[in-house]
Amino acid sequence: MNIILKGIIAVILGVIAGSALNMGLIMISGSIIAPPEGVITTTTEGLKESLHLFEAKHFLMPFLAHALGTLFGALIAALIVSDHKIRFALGIGCWFLLGGITMTFILPSPLWFTVLDLSLAYIPMAYLGGKLAIKLTSKTRLT
């Protein structure tokens, strides 16, 4: 397969896979850690109005969704390409970081969460996904 086409497919599938996992975790988060009483989490307006009621525990699932979505998307992209696995993984991480930065403007969160989320959930997880892909592909080459 053409190396450029393979790279494009890797990025598209990485973004789709990471986004799907992220959204899935966000959708089930309310059943794992219930939101404060009376909070409407299905709309951005509802979240904006009641974000001040959230405790630290309510930010655990969004952080995990961002981190695991990025990790998974980066892993998928890096597994697909044959060379430059870390670069592709970090590209996916940058894509999700851009989304995270955008969300801080759409849905302002506490400063501690914004700093934690933007500094740990995207680029470090993408790098980890790339390293994991290298490890997985080197094992399959040996067997």
What would the pLDDT profile of 111-133 be if each residue is shown by its tens digit?
999 999 999 999 999 999 999 99
Q: Which of 109, 110, 132, 129 is nearest to 121 (CA)?
A: 129
pLDDT at 11 over 60: yes
Does residue 54 have a pLDDT over 60? Answer: yes
The phi, psi pair for 109, rounded to 5°, reads: -115, 170
Would you say residue 84 has pLDDT above 80?
yes
Domain ranges, residue 9: 3-142
140 in the Ramachandran plot: left (φ > 0), alpha (ψ -120 to 50) or beta? Answer: alpha
Which pair of structure tokens corresponds to residue 3? 């190396």
Q: How far apart are the first and last CA of the chain?
A: 23
Which pTM value belongs to this model? 0.91
For the chain, what is the domain count? 1
Identify the helix (H) or strand (E) that includes residue 50: helix 44-50
